[in-house]
Structure 1
Amino acid sequence: MNRHRDESVAFSAVFDLPSEVGLRVAAEALNLSLTTAYRRVRNGDFPCRVRRAGRRYVVRLSDLMRALGIQDVRVRYDDIEAGARFAGGEADA
């Protein structure tokens, strides 16, 4: 695939993060006990949108990141490559 050097990708995609996480992961990230998380879901005051997937509750990663104050910013491929070179100990030319 040819790509233009000015293309960008979402931060979450760079690290191949899932699009949704279970309630346990969301609760941990928000520093809530699982019991409190379930109670807040039932009361309708969980910090982000929750949906049922079969018998499980799931939270969209983008909603969880927003609740945590983390922006899913666009990252340029050039910046990713430069960061990888820097992490590998190469000096930026």
Structure 2
Amino acid sequence: MKHRRDESVSFSAMFGLPAEVGLRMAAEALNLSLSTAYRRVRNGDFPCQVRRTGRRYVVRLPDLMRVLGIQDVRVRYDDVEAGARFASGEGDV
């Protein structure tokens, strides 16, 4: 991937997280049983927006992260590279 040094990308994109997750994963992240998650989807009170694609229910990752209180912050490439150098013991950042 080519990038300029001053560019940034979202945390989720930087680490290759999926754009959406299935209901099972969303339920686990929210500490709900799968049956409770399905019931809440049917009742229209699941904590984030759910979309049906074919026979599956999916939740957009940014929506799930927001409900969990996780910010999808912008990350600068320079900061990631500096962190990798620091973690490998290559000196000061």
TM-score when normalising by structure 2: 0.94
Q: 1:1-93 residue pairs with structure 2 within 5 A? A: 3-93=3-93
Once the two structures are aligned, what percentage of the paired residues are identical?
A: 82
- Measured in 1, the distance between the counterparts of 2:2 and 2:39 equals 49
- Measured in 2, the distance between the counterparts of 1:3 and 1:61 equals 24
Q: Which amino acid letter does the alignment assign opposite residue 88 of structure 1?
A: S
- Measured in 2, the distance between the counterparts of 1:57 and 1:2 equals 35
**Cα–Cα, structure 1 residues 25 and 83, in superposed 2: closer, same or farther, change >3 Å?**
same
- Measured in 2, the distance between the counterparts of 1:7 and 1:25 equals 31
Which portions of structure 1, spanning 4 or more consecutive aligned residues, are displaced by more than 2 angstroms?
Answer: 1-4
- Measured in 1, the distance between the counterparts of 2:22 and 2:2 equals 36
Offset of 1:2 from its aligned partner? 5.0
Unaligned runs of 5+ in 2: none
**Cα–Cα, structure 1 residues 2 and 31, in superposed 2: closer, same or farther, change >3 Å?**
closer
Unaligned runs of 5+ in 1: none
Offset of 1:88 from its aligned partner? 1.5
TM-score when normalising by structure 1: 0.94
Q: Which amino acid letter does the alignment assign opposite residue 57 of structure 1?
A: Y
- Measured in 2, the distance between the counterparts of 1:86 and 1:92 equals 7
CA RMSD in angstroms, aligned pairs only: 1.3
Number of paired residues?
93
